[in-house]
Amino acid sequence: MTAGAPDRSLVVTLAAVAALGPVATNLYLPALPAVREHFGASVAEVQATFSVSLVMFAFGILAWGPISDRYGRRIAVIGGLAIMVIGAIVSLASLSLGWLIAGRALQAFGTATGIVTARAIISDLYPVDQMAKVLASITMVAVLGNSLAPVAGGLITAGFGWRAIFAALVLAAAVVAVAVWTRLPETRPPGAHPPRAREMATTAWSLLRMPMFTGCVLQSAVIYATFLVFISLAPYVMVSALGRSPTEFGFYYLFIAVGYFLGNWSVRRLMARHDLHWMVVAGVLLTAGGAVAALACVAIGLTHPLWIFVPIGVLSYGQGLALPNVTATAVSLAPQYAGVASSTIGFLQQIVGAAAVQWMGRFPTDTALPVLLFCAVACLLGVGMLYVFPRVQAGR
C-alpha cells in the first residue's frame, strides 16, 4: 500500500464508478408510471423491472469480488461497465416488458462491480487510516448522486420520455469508462486469488448459524426492504393517489436522501457519547415513529405529499443511524472473513428487498395506505427484533 495523500483524480474516478449503480436505479424510479402506461401493464408486472434488477445486483455483489481478484481490478470495472451499457441499450430498444426486464437485469449485474471493486482498490492502495477518509469521500459523492438522480430522472422522463433514461445511462457509462481507462491503474496485489466457492459457502453458512449474525441480517434486511418498497411504489402513489407528476417525486425524494445523509453524519457525531447499541435502538425507534406517523397522517385524510415525505424523512434518518452500525456489527463478528460476511449480508439484503418489492406490487397504488402500512409493520418488526436479538445490536 502506498503512503501519502490520496490521489484526487483516482478518488473521483472511484466515486463515479461506485455511484453509477445507485444513480442508475434512482434515475429510473420516476419513469415507472410512464413504463406502466406505455406497456399497459399492471404495477406488479412493472415492479419486476425493479425487483429482478435487485436480484441480479445481489448476484453481482457475490461475483465481482472474486472476478477482480482473479483477473484484475481494471478488467472487472471495464467488464462491468460494458455489461451495463449492453443492458441499457437492450432497455432502450425494448419492444416488450420482458426485454426491458432483461435489459435492467444486465444493467444491474454490471453496475454491481462499482462498489465491490472500488472497495478492493482502496484496500490495495491505502493504509487503514486513509481508507476511512477515501470511503467517506466516495460515500458523499454517492449520496449526492442518489439525491439528484430522481430529480433528473423526472425531468428527463417528462421532457423526452422514459427511454431517454437509458440513453443518458449509456452516455454516463461511456464517460466513466474513459476515466477508468485513462486514470485507473491495476492495483491487484501479485499472486492474489479469489476464495473458492465452497469455502465462501461454508463460511457464510457458519455465520448464519450464529444468532448475533442472523439478527444483524434480519434487522438490516427489514431496514433495506422498507426503503426499497417505499421508493419503488411512491412514484405510482404520487401519480395515481396524489395527482402529482413524476417530476415532483424527484424533489420530494430529497427528504429521504437528506434524512439518510444526516443519519450517517450523526453516527460520527454521536459515537463519542453513545455506544453502538444506543444508536441502533434510537435509529430503529425513529424508523418506526416515522412510518407510523406517515400512516396516521394518510389515514386521517391528509393528502399533501409533505404529510408523507416529512415523516419518511425521519424514518430515513433512523435508517442512516442504525444501518451502518448493524452492518459493522455483522462484519466484526468474523474479522478473518470480513469479505464473506459483507457479501453475505449485502446479498441477503438485496434478495429480501427484491421479494418485498415484487410482493407489494400486487397491492393498489391509488392510495398510499398499503405502502405505508407495509413500512409501519416492517419497522415495528424491527423494534421487536431489538428484544428477540438483544445482544446483536450491542455488538458484544
Domain contains 395: no
Same-domain check for residues 134 and 219: no
Coil, helix or strand at residue 184? coil
Lowest mean pLDDT across 72-86, 242-256, 354-368: 242-256
Domain contains 299: yes
Domain contains 218: yes
pLDDT of 104 reads 95
The string over 154-182, giving b where at least 16 C-beta atoms fall within 10 Å of a residue's C-beta and e elsewhere, is: bebbbeeebbebbbbbbebbeebbebbee
Domain contains 304: yes
Which value, to the nearest 10 degrees, does the dihedral of the CA atoms of residues 63, 66, 67, 72 take? 150
Cell 466516495, located at residue: 138
| Average confidence (pLDDT) over 339-345 | 73
pLDDT digits (tens, 9 = 90+) for 179-214: 999 888 887 777 656 666 677 777 778 888 888 888
| Domain stops at, among 146, 164, 194 | 194
The Cα–Cα gap between 321 and 290 comes to 14
Same-domain check for residues 187 and 248: no
CB 55 within 8 A of CB 351: yes
Same-domain check for residues 297 and 371: yes
| Average confidence (pLDDT) over 307-332 | 86
Same-domain check for residues 158 and 65: yes
Same-domain check for residues 30 and 44: yes
Closest to 297 in 3D by CA, of 313, 280, 318, 321: 313
CB 276 within 8 A of CB 394: yes
Same-domain check for residues 124 and 230: no
The Cα–Cα gap between 348 and 331 comes to 14
CB 54 within 8 A of CB 353: yes
Percent of the chain residues topping a pLDDT of 70:
89
Percent of the chain residues topping a pLDDT of 90:
40
pLDDT of 369 reads 95
The Cα–Cα gap between 157 and 247 comes to 8
- Look up the CATH number of the domain holding residue 218: 1.20.1250.20
| Average confidence (pLDDT) over 48-56 | 91
CB 222 within 8 A of CB 381: yes
Same-domain check for residues 104 and 168: yes
Q: Find all residues with CB under 8 Å of 126, minimum gap 6, and list them.
A: 1, 2, 6, 134
Same-domain check for residues 238 and 302: yes
Lowest mean pLDDT across 74-88, 298-312, 344-358: 344-358
Domain contains 41: yes
pLDDT for residue 133 is more than 90: no
| Domain stops at, among 151, 174, 194 | 194
Same-domain check for residues 320 and 209: yes
Domain contains 207: yes
Burial (Cβ within 10 Å: 0-12, 13-18, ≥19) of residue 81:
buried
The Cα–Cα gap between 54 and 204 comes to 20
DSSP type of residue 273: T
CB 83 within 8 A of CB 105: no
pLDDT digits (tens, 9 = 90+) for 262-288: 887 887 777 777 777 788 899 999 999
Domain contains 222: yes
Domain contains 89: yes
Same-domain check for residues 30 and 155: yes
Same-domain check for residues 154 and 226: no
The Cα–Cα gap between 176 and 150 comes to 20
Q: Which long-range contacts (CB under 8 A, 24 or more apart) does 189-192 make?
A: 189/124, 192/69
Q: Packing angle between helix 128-160 and helix 113-125, nearest 10 degrees?
A: 150
Helices in 72-194 by DSSP H: which ranges? 73-93, 97-111, 113-125, 128-160, 163-183
| Domain stops at, among 170, 194, 218 | 194
- Domain containing 256 equals 196-390
Structural domain total, the chain = 2
The string over 305-316, giving b where at least 16 C-beta atoms fall within 10 Å of a residue's C-beta and e elsewhere, is: bebbbbbbbbbb
Same-domain check for residues 180 and 73: yes
